[in-house]
Amino acid sequence: MSLRISEVNITPSNPADGLIAFASFVINDALYCGSVGIYTRPKGGYRLVYPTKQVAGRQLDIFHPISAAVGKLIEQEVITKYEEVMNNAWNRHRDTHSIPS
DSSP string for 38-71: EEE-TTSSEEEE--EEEETTEEEES---SSHHHH
**47 or 91, which is more confident?**
47
pLDDT at 81: 98
Residue 26 CB-half CA count within 13 A: 5
Instruction: Indicate the pTM of the whole model.
Output: 0.85
2-44 pLDDT tens trace: 899 999 999 999 999 999 999 999 999 999 999 999 999 999 9
- Say whether pLDDT at 93 is over 90: no
d(CA 86, CA 92): 10
Domains observed in the chain? 5-83 (3.30.1120.40)
